[in-house]
Structure 1
Amino acid sequence: MKRTALYAGSFDPLTNGHADIFAQASRLFDDVVVGIGVQPSKSGLFTFEERVGLIRAVLGDETRVVAFPGLVVDAARDVGAAAIVRGLRDGTDLDYEMQMAGMNGTMASEITTVFLPASPPTRPITATLVRQIAKMGGDVSAFVPQTVADALKRKFA
């Protein structure tokens, strides 16, 4: 039986931390689907299509990427996922993610939330900080794959 997981987030932009969690999840599940949360009222730095392109450039062309406008548990059901993968950097993440896992578990008891610890070099990385550093002309190459660093340079040129 094929085991599918949904790794959901905004991925705006994809960071080394995201890639780390995806790699860990890929060792545990047969299929890891990347779910990009999209809300028409929010505009991200990168469009959905740009994010998909960056994700596939970094994680592989065969990576399945889906958009979801609503609840992550509905997206997980839609892709046939048995689990939702969440990365944890620190205790603050754990506190927040435990609440989300509890709510998701109540709404969809058939879907398990799996927490994966960020590897030590990626723990301080957040997409928000990467965007801020890039916007101010800083070097983000230690925090994102080169493809993403190049895209950020173009975005803020």
Structure 2
Amino acid sequence: MQAAVTEDSKEIFVEAMEEQEELPTAKKFKWKDRIGLVDVLAQECADSGRKFETVFNSIRISQFAYYASKMPVKQKSKLKKEVQEKVKEILYVRESADVGDVVRVPKYKDNPLLGGYIRDGHKLVEAVITKKEIIASSYRYTVKRISDGQVQKGNGHMIKSIVSRAADGQV
């Protein structure tokens, strides 16, 4: 009987010790979920358009770190830099054209001498994006011209403007 009680008490004691090891013994700043905080701050900055400081003060940081009020200045500046990079990335993805969007592109034709494409005139034609893929951290688009149905490929510089979004129900 006592052996069973001691085994159970040992297990409870070990679990309690593991929980105590998770909490920092000294009242020092320590991360719980740094990446989660960066994501939350970046989403809020991108959605509302507010600066880092105002968003940082409006979000409860104690969910992401122990003793958040004791965050060192160095940690905060690194966090700010990461959040700003993430915000730029989020805004870039939001601004880029998606599959199904109607865009204006220069009309290209095949180059028989060198291969690839050359520009056919200076007028822009409307096209629908059929495929979007990421190659080496940049987008590569495949578009189908509305006027003649030809397919052409290019990067984001090929797209001069977005006429209508697919989400708007225009396409």
**Would the TM-score normalized by the shorter structure come out above 0.5?**
no
**TM-score calculated relative to the size of structure 2:** 0.22
More strand, by proportion: 2
Output the TM-score relative to the length of structure 1: 0.24
